[in-house]
Structure 1
């Protein structure tokens, strides 16, 4: 598997990242161990998790596997903070107190003294961005995190955070949803990242699983769309607009004699500023398919997919 630099930093990450959203809930310990081992054996390094995944269960399971299954030094460990659990559910909290407390808890669950990349998972309108960035700076200076970044933030927030971190530190990454079914980040986040030298990590590059084309005819009983806790996550991409993109993707894949998954991943990895794409296989079989997805798309195929999936852009991005 290839590696790419994360923006203009010296950190290199594998072009595919292993996501752990389902670990500790839909993916059990045996499958997680196989996923992690197979991923690293294939040359993968970037392992992505978050304190909010399974209310900490994903980090705990990953922590149990680091050492017995893979060496800590063989992976680029990324986790996220900023969503605090309460009796009423998750609450966005990117205050200094919540972030640093969450980071310490993550380190305990992961069984390590530092993470390679630490991200703020969501914007917090109640906390000044200056305070949030101060927590990022402290995490690096205290040795808890080697690099820091943002997830799911707007372009202006990305630019402001990068400015606040300079000149002592750099904003290494933004992790955002990016696929043929979600290209909104192209309006402001991607240009901001390019101008600032920030690496972009694409989460859900397969359109929450819809770009595998498994939902073309029905909803498989063992799929996320049939799951009580993930059905709402997939539902936005099961409409007519998404179906048109999926059909174009299937046509392209048939012409190339490859799978829709391979073409969808190749499209994301061909986009400017993208350092890596984080996939979240629930089973080793799903990971095996993703690991074979190295593919250079012909320009004509890229242009056709660009056209059918083009996001609506208006003022002021386009005049």
Structure 2
């Protein structure tokens, strides 16, 4: 595990689409100025809102920012993903898979857009069970061996698949996946409900058990539930409508008041106390400044117990 001190990660999914390049640059500048280190993107971001019908906008904005800011590459670490980028515009069903040729081609295209010779962390964005796991593991291992990716990880993968992949990598003398990325936040949906967002996979106790036993980093996405903790116009999805959510939100408001912090900051502090690196997607500078300030929020064991009892 590389990150012994969990930190806020800047999610750049909407850069170049919903967030224009000028505003994206301002957010990136504020993130670095505030001591932020990790940028999270993907080669498919965001094909569903881009008129082109394919991804790449986020990576292109980051690449342009790096070119415009001498020395910036040494101040940030970049994580990107392969798997979901459509090969045919506006056709998600044509998304690249995790075959060796697809992985190598996807990474080469990402490096070109970013204007870098390597990424610090490469994710397999989702499972591809049409491809033998051995092939995918081999492709990721080759990229690390070439120095194209410094580390590799699995997003939206079942824990047993991650451990099987790690075993295959060890047997072949290759770099294994050392990071997990899954959806997680303070509030939880009703058990056994289906997420409306296709491809999202919730963090489970099994995932945390694997991470803690094997020393893996854990990153969470949808960490702030799209603003639902603080915005009345952004209600939580219906699957979160249960008594546990009501109790947790009441505790959240109470603790935020006690600590003179925002609810978002308390949620981020709660995640980092679990040893999780929360990804935060923002559209304004003040939002990333608020998120970085969560590092000053100190939750006690008593605070954690109150959240646990409310669930």
- Calculate the TM-score normalised by the size of structure 1: 0.82
| Separation in structure 2 between the aligned mates of residue 112 and residue 14 of structure 1, nearest angstrom | 25
TM superposition shift of 1:124:
1.3
TM superposition shift of 1:306:
2.1
Q: How does 1:145-184 map to 2 (within 5 A)?
A: 145-166=149-170, 167-182=173-188, 184=202
2:277 aligned with 1:260, yes or no? no
TM superposition shift of 1:16:
1.0
Range that drifts further, 251-260 or 117-126 = 251-260
Which residue of the partner structure matches residue 35 of structure 1? 27
Change (3 A) 1:237 1:206: farther
TM superposition shift of 1:288:
1.5
Which residue of the partner structure matches residue 63 of structure 1? 63
| Separation in structure 2 between the aligned mates of residue 289 and residue 120 of structure 1, nearest angstrom | 30
Which residue of the partner structure matches residue 228 of structure 2? 210
Q: How does 1:197-276 map to 2 (within 5 A)?
A: 197-211=215-229, 213-215=230-232, 219=233, 235=237, 239-240=241-242, 242-272=245-275, 274=276, 276=277
Which residue of the partner structure matches residue 283 of structure 1? 284
Which structure has more strand as a fraction of its residues? Answer: 1
Q: Note the residue ranges of structure 1 that are not aligned, 5 or more in a row.
A: 1-6, 226-233, 310-319
Change (3 A) 1:238 1:185: closer
Change (3 A) 1:307 1:196: same
- Calculate the TM-score normalised by the size of structure 2: 0.84
TM superposition shift of 1:204:
2.1
TM superposition shift of 1:67:
2.9
SS in 1 for 2:151: strand
RMSD of Structure 2 on Structure 1 (CA)? 2.2
Q: Note the residue ranges of structure 2 that are not aligned, 5 or more in a row.
A: 47-54, 190-201
Which residue of the partner structure matches residue 73 of structure 2? 72
TM superposition shift of 1:185:
2.2
TM superposition shift of 1:205:
1.7
Which residue of the partner structure matches residue 51 of structure 2? none
| Separation in structure 1 between the aligned mates of residue 242 and residue 204 of structure 2, nearest angstrom | 22
Q: 1:185 aligns with which of 203, 207, 220?
A: 203
| Separation in structure 2 between the aligned mates of residue 257 and residue 282 of structure 1, nearest angstrom | 24
CA offsets 1:110-143 (integer angstroms, 9 cap, x no match): 0111101000000112122211111110111122
| Separation in structure 1 between the aligned mates of residue 41 and residue 246 of structure 2, nearest angstrom | 30
Change (3 A) 1:88 1:67: closer
Which residue of the partner structure matches residue 14 of structure 2? 22
The number of equivalent residue pairs is 283
